[in-house]
Amino acid sequence: MSVWWLLAIAAGLLLAIPVFVLIGLFLLAVIPWWGLISGLFLVGAIILWGACFYDLFRRTDVSWWLIGLWGVLLIVVPVISAFAYFVTRPAASKIRYKGEQVA
């Protein structure tokens, strides 16, 4: 299981973060007064994207096929799929995480 996690993180770092950086740099170059807003968008998008991967690989109630599908979506369309992941995610009380003790 750890090999898939490392491959997903490596692929994500190689593909998705440059997309966020390019979006931020484009906004900085085209509209200089939007520098603060685009920087905040960039930081927020990276945090949201990382939280999706962190949450996705900790869950035990999701099959590996679904994890792979979400991983590909998060890499190909990072911002839209990150929002879609958190909208379609079940309530926190219904999710089982790795290493969690059942009461």
Quick one: average pLDDT of 78-101? 74
- Give the Cα separation of 62 and 96 in Å (integer): 9
Task: Give the end-to-end CA distance of the chain in Å, rounded to a whole number.
Answer: 26
Give me the domain span that covers residue 70: 2-94
- State the pLDDT confidence band at 71, using cuts at 50, 70 and 90: confident
pLDDT at 63: 84
Question: Does residue 102 belong to any structural domain of this protein?
Answer: no
Q: Is the pLDDT of residue 75 over 80?
A: yes
pLDDT at 5: 64
The three-point CA angle 53-28-11 to 5° equals 25
pLDDT digits (tens, 9 = 90+) for 7-64: 666 676 667 667 777 777 776 777 666 667 777 788 888 888 888 888 888 877 778 8
Which tokens go with 82? 């990150």
**Eight-state DSSP code of residue 92:** G
Tokens 């926190």 -> residue: 92
- Our count of domains for the chain comes to 1
Would you state the structure tokens that stand for residue 84, as one six-digit string? 């879609």
Strand-pair partners of 97: 59
Give the pLDDT of residue 79: 80
For tokens 């966020």, the residue is 20
Q: What is the pLDDT of residue 76?
A: 87
Residue 58, domain member (yes or no)? yes
pLDDT value at 65 more than 70? yes
Q: Give the per-residue pLDDT at 54.
A: 85
Query: Residue 101 domain-assigned?
Result: no
